[in-house]
Amino acid sequence: MTTTTELVSKRVCVTGGAGFLGRAVCARFHAAGFGNVSVPRSAEFDLTSAESVSRLFAQARPEVVVHLAAEVGGIGANEKRPGRFFYANMLMGVLLIEEARRRGVEKFVQVGTVCSYPKHCRTPFREEDLWNGFPEETNAPYGVAKRALGVMLDAYRREYGFNGVYLLPANLYGPHDNFDAETSHVIPGMIRQFCDAVDQGAERVECWGTGTPTREFLYVDDAADAIVLATMSHDDPEPVNLGTGEEISIRDLADAIARLCGFRGTIAWNPTRPDGQPRRRLDPSRARRRLGWTASVGLEEGLRRTIEWWRAHRPSALRPVAGGSS
């Protein structure tokens, strides 16, 4: 059995380690005592290239891989780039898992997505329901690609004894999120909209859809804690949800963000734009049992921290952003 001392001495490679979730995960690895954590940069390593992935493994010689890298965005981005999102996310995972198997990597942690669940999945979403239907159409290519990687890990465990772990986080948010006009998810998109409206003295903000769908949101630091715990202690092949078990309607979310941003004007809903999946709420009980983990940051506090970070770090000039509920 691997001891904690032996574990923290392992060479860990975190793909996407410079990104939104990745920087939080790497910080927690370092806090836990891991002294050899490598982060491949996209400028040097194209993870959709077999040659590049092989070169990465030859240089980093990882004993543990945590795969966070992804091409992803909100509803608008998924509508515009479904082919790319399927191709890039599928290929990155396939190449990394196969290379890890070939090189005898001791553990592979794959972070999936709540988008993999069926569009009309019963709530709360339980891991055993993952294959009981097709994902919501606007993000199905991304969700199916990520879902297939869980199947690959299971197949590799059965045939090769490969130790793969599969995690399914709820929608993430927090400081360092993506606030880009074209690709942001709903929380950073709304924060930017309402902060801009306050600064510009606008009296009206338009949001996509009807506001009726629900979502579950997980603060990025909570997700990072769970991923590090799973890396250190979880070796079970079954997928594990990471979430709070609480859902909020997009309309109520907009009201909360507007209030925290200080916006007092009118919120107008545009029903000609897609709503996305009708409901999302995970059952996090398996994570409590298997990882000893529960989320600690409530939505109100997480939104407050994210808004404070955005106001302190936003660029001086950005294009207006369209809202979405993915």
> Which amino acids are annotated catalytic?
142
Distance of CA 308 to the CA centre of its chain: 21
Which stretches of 161-298 are DSSP H helices?
186-200, 220-233, 250-261, 285-291
Residue 308, both tokens: 């404070």
- CB atoms closer than 10 angstroms to residue 154: 16
| Alpha-carbon span 105 to 57, nearest angstrom | 10
Give 10-43 as a DSSP string: S-EEEETTTSHHHHHHHHHHHHTT---EE---TT
| Alpha-carbon span 155 to 148, nearest angstrom | 11
Nearest to 221 by CA among 165, 113, 297: 297
Residue 292: burial class (beta carbons within 10 Å; 0-12, 13-18, 19+): exposed
Q: Amino acid letter at 318?
A: L
Do 232 and 298 form a contact (C-beta atoms < 8 A)? no
Do 19 and 66 form a contact (C-beta atoms < 8 A)? no
Indicate the helix (H) or strand (E) that contains 248.
Answer: strand 248-249
As a three-state string, the secondary structure of 72-139 is: CCCHHHHHHCHHHHHHHHHHHHHHHHHHHHHCCCCEEEEECCHHHCECCCCCCECHHHCCCCCECHHH
